[in-house]
Amino acid sequence: MSDEQSEFATNRRPLAVVTGASSGIGYELARLFAENGYDLVIAADRPLAEAEQAFTAQGAQVRSLQADLATEDGLRQLYALIQSSSRPVDALAANAGEGLGHAFLDQDFARWRHVVDTNITGTCLLLQLVGRDMRERGRGRILITGSIAGLMPGTFNAVYNGTKAFLDSFSWALRNELKDTGVTVTCLMPGATETEFFHRAGMDDTKAGAGKKDNPADVARTGFDAMMKGEGDVVHGAMNKMRAAMAAVTPESRLADMHRGMAEPGSGEEN
């Protein structure tokens, strides 16, 4: 074990793992963990030097991994890094995720498969690996970044909304399976948030992409607080709470049509 590794292993501060910590909501979640006295293991698909430096400046010890979390290999690398820290994971923010705009029949197979593999398969594998350790220890907090998008059919973002419907549902099931184990599961359900998400999904010209969005720091705070309280799920913001309540009583056909209005390519140019 190197000096750096052994210093990390003997540290008494709690440890949080945050995926997708290079930008947006994940970056802000990691910042909050550091602010609250946690050390960090962070992962993303881009270099994390800048993020690592920022969280270190907050007093956290940080270990980072650049890997594609859509792949089993990427997830195994992340778990190996966690294990090599020789410290239990106190909190896991399974946050990495991506969207993909445009009509489903026009999407590239490799692109939409990557969305499924990142948002569902990679997230679930990480939850399983870290969750088993937490259950054995009888302690741990899990925060899954779902979305209010999971509450409605995602016309022109169909695969993405499907993956978030999976996570919104999965989160409650895992929470119930883990009741009485000391491990809590919380689902953070943001609405449109000002991150790189829409640009990367090719949705700049949509009404949702061009419209007003929530601040990622506020969204992360909502999720962090709910996780700390051990709540089951939390929708960020009053407007989104209203949208979530409305989705529960609106026919799917109507929701699909409303989503068209927000996500159809070119819809943002009418603003």
Ligand X SMILES: NC(=O)c1ccc[n+]([C@@H]2O[C@H](COP(=O)([O-])OP(=O)(O)OC[C@H]3O[C@@H](n4cnc5c(N)ncnc54)[C@H](OP(=O)(O)O)[C@@H]3O)[C@@H](O)[C@H]2O)c1
Retrieve residue 238's tokens. Answer: 């009053």
Least CB distance to ligand X at residue 146 (A): 7
> Least distance (Å) from ligand X to the CB of residue 6?
28
Among 16, 75, 96, 124, binds ligand X (CB under 6 A): 96
Query: 70: which 2 tokens?
Result: 């859509």
CA distance 191 to 114: 22
Footprint of ligand X on 19-78 (CB under 6 A): 20-26, 44-46, 68-70
Angular region, 261: left φ>0, alpha ψ -120 to 50, beta rest:
alpha
Q: With respect to ligand X, which residue has the nearer C-beta, 85 or 240?
A: 240
Cα separation of 128 and 209, whole Å?
33
Instruction: Give the total residue count for the chain.
Output: 271
Cα-based angle 190, 126, 130 (whole degrees, multiple of 5): 110
Shortest distance, position 50 Cβ to ligand X, whole Å: 11
Active site residue 38: no
147 binds ligand X (CB under 6 A): yes
- Mapping DSSP to helix (H, G, I), strand (E, B) and coil, where does residue 174 land? helix
User: CA Rg, the chain, in Å?
Assistant: 18
Within positions 103 to 122, which residues make up the interface with ligand X, using CB under 6 A?
A: 118
Enumerate residues 189-208 that contact ligand X by CB under 6 A: 190, 192-193, 195-197, 200
The residue among 153 and 216 lying less far from ligand X, judged by its C-beta, is 216
Dihedral angle over CA of 9, 70, 140, 135, nearest 10 = -100
Q: Which of 27, 38, 79, 160 is catalytic?
A: 160
DSSP lists the bridge partners of residue 183 as 140
- C-beta closer to ligand X: residue 186 or 193: 193
Determine the size of the site formed for ligand X (CB under 6 A).
29
Between 7 and 204, name the residue whose CB sits nearer to ligand X: 204
How many whole angstroms separate alpha carbon 241 and alpha carbon 243? 5
* Smallest separation (angstroms) from ligand X to the CB of 132: 22
Q: Which of 64, 145, 157, 171 binds ligand X (CB under 6 A)?
A: 145
Q: How many CB atoms lie within 10 A of CB 250?
A: 15
In angstroms, what is the minimal distance from the CB of 248 to ligand X? Answer: 18
The CA distances from residue 24 to 49, 121, 159, 201, 236, in Å, are 16, 21, 21, 14, 15
Q: Which of 137, 260 has the CB closer to ligand X?
A: 260
Catalytic residues: 160
Contact footprint for ligand X (CB under 6 A)? 20-26, 44-46, 68-70, 95-98, 118, 145, 147, 149, 190, 192-193, 195-197, 200, 216
